[in-house]
Structure 1
Amino acid sequence: MSAPVVLITGTSTGIGLATAVSAARAGWRTVATLRDPGRAGPLRDAADAAGVGDLLEVRRLDVVDEASVTACVADVVDRHGRLDAVVNNAGAGHVGTLEQETVDDVRAVMEVNFFGVLHVTRAALPHLRAANGRLITVTSVGGVVGQPFNEAYCAAKFAVEGFMESLAPLAATVGVSVCVVEPGAVASEFVANVGLDRDTAVAAAGPYGPALRAYLERSAAAFAAAQSPAEAAAAVVATLTDPEPAPRVQTSTAARQFVAVKLADTDGLGVTALTAGWLR
């Protein structure tokens, strides 16, 4: 029997890169996608170093371009005759607050982090049904706990979590397992890619400046103790290979403890007390 086929989005760096290599090491024919294949050098190098370059292929896929998504998924199925799993990993961070940004800024965050996931999921579902396959979406602890200065990002991740939680029981009736994987702080380029200069941002934040400075200092401390992309990827691949995966998986003890505050917080006071402490 040929190796099962998994398509993973957002594999140029971080969790996506580590997941692609780890999935190939686990014996999966891995289709590693990214918006710009010209940035695939580190991914190819990591696959070769792990001895799995022959199991990993790189393809272009831009999650916000529905035509790109449809074409990529169709080509994968045409070449391999199957698609057994998808890992929705592509996403982008964002720091800001609504009074100081435009609604178009928020829409852009939603396009990448929410609608991008929907484009890939919609294109893949018929093939996952045929394979009794698996749909895994990397969300965030920010998809469970709303966080200051992350309004747009958390809104998008909340939307993904709600969508997948709603889809899971329905997809199960046609043989597809749906899971979300929630990382906390991960030592990758994800935060750097937000492109935020702390001093400039604080100076521009006006009345929100003191709160933003406190938030950014707290975030820097959290990411100083972050787990590695490989550790987070291990949780994704475990979910990919588990015969009976849980619908919701956290990638670390810290992530589990953090989301537990929200999941046990029926009146919301516990969460708001926790995050308010980040701003002073």
Structure 2
Amino acid sequence: MIDWTGQRVLITGAASGIGRALAVLLAARGALVTAADINADGAAETAAVCAGEALALDLADGSAGPAAVEELVARHGRLDAVFANAGIGHTRRLLKADLDDPGLARLWEINMLGPTRLAQALVRAAEAGGWRARIVITGSENSLSLPPSIQNFGNGLYAASKHGVLILAEWLATECRNAGKPLDVHVLLPGGVYTGLTAAGLGDDPARWPADMGIILPERAAEICLQSLDLGLFHIPTHAHLHDDMGGRYHSVGEATALLQLGKQA
């Protein structure tokens, strides 16, 4: 079980939802939390709740994440963990989406490149300072599949960014392991969690949401996340249906492999 006492932790997207729940739970376990968010007032509220510090941070600026890591290391001498939780939505049906929309650059930067930039900065700091760190990157059930309950919501571009999160996290973990870098990488894969992001697309009343989404509260997602870190897990799903939802892709590739007779000698 991880002893968080005295550990310096940066949480992005900490003004609400899973980010705030993680901040509160980590603080309760003794971590010293920096709550970061583009919503400076929300970050300050979270910091007040968990007796931490607040940081206004817009990860659409590619230099902001690494600068935040450098600032915190300079101020505190170390940074033990980053929860790269910040993310934005983008609901457009692909057949009608404006693929030249400037908002897409912000989507890719915040959802995909932001965590990668944070990981780069964190491993540099940990190597230079001689400590071991960890990064937990928030993906989505959309990282793994097209969940049946939301297939009519026009989530293609958002889902693409979250697919990217997963493969980037897998490559980061692999590169760190193969090169002996002092960074442990994990990816949080939330299913239906009642947050401002999901409520914006589905409405404020979770009781009206599709029953098969199995909506949970952010506090439960945070509990699952920390339990998974205690267990040393890389993939951190919050719902059992995430495993089932991946089945269609797995079976489709298996069927194609069999029909093409790829396992037989040419």
TM over 0.5: yes
Equivalent in the alignment of 1:201? none
- The two structures have a TM-score, normalised by structure 1, of 0.76
Structure 2: 5+ residue stretches without partners: 256-266
- The two structures have a TM-score, normalised by structure 2, of 0.79
Equivalent in the alignment of 1:233? 222
Count of paired positions: 237
Q: Cα 1:264–1:35, aligned 2, differ >3 Å: closer, same or farther?
A: same
Structure 1: 5+ residue stretches without partners: 198-218, 270-280
Checking the alignment, whether the CA contact within 8 Å between 1:63 and 1:116 is kept in structure 2 is: yes
Equivalent in the alignment of 1:80? 76
Higher helix proportion, which one?
1
Distance (Å, rounded) in 2 between the aligned partners of 1:222 and 1:189: 19
| Shift in Å, 1:263 | 7.1
| Shift in Å, 1:257 | 3.8
Equivalent in the alignment of 1:132? 132
Distance (Å, rounded) in 2 between the aligned partners of 1:12 and 1:176: 26
Give the one of 8, 18, 21 matched to 1:18.
21
Q: Deviation per CA, 1:53-102, whole angstroms, max 9, x where unpaired?
A: 2xx21111111112322322111101110011111100012222222121
Matched position secondary structure for 2:197: coil
Equivalent in the alignment of 1:211? none
Q: Cα 1:84–1:92, aligned 2, differ >3 Å: closer, same or farther?
A: same
1:196-235 maps to which residues of 2 (within 5 A)? 220-222=209-211, 225-235=214-224
Checking the alignment, whether the CA contact within 8 Å between 1:63 and 1:119 is kept in structure 2 is: no
| One-letter code aligned to 1:119 | R
Q: Deviation per CA, 1:86-122, whole angstroms, max 9, x where unpaired?
A: 1110001222222212113443322221122223222
Distance (Å, rounded) in 2 between the aligned partners of 1:2 and 1:77: 17
Matched position secondary structure for 1:135: strand
Coordinate RMSD, CA, aligned: 2.6
Distance (Å, rounded) in 1 between the aligned partners of 2:163 and 2:254: 15
Distance (Å, rounded) in 2 between the aligned partners of 1:21 and 1:191: 21
Distance (Å, rounded) in 2 between the aligned partners of 1:111 and 1:104: 15
Q: Deviation per CA, 1:208-233, whole angstroms, max 9, x where unpaired?
A: xxxxxxxxxxx931487401100001
Checking the alignment, whether the CA contact within 8 Å between 1:4 and 1:29 is kept in structure 2 is: yes
Shifted more, 222-231 versus 90-99: the winner is 222-231
Identical aligned residues as a percent: 28
Checking the alignment, whether the CA contact within 8 Å between 1:184 and 1:252 is kept in structure 2 is: yes
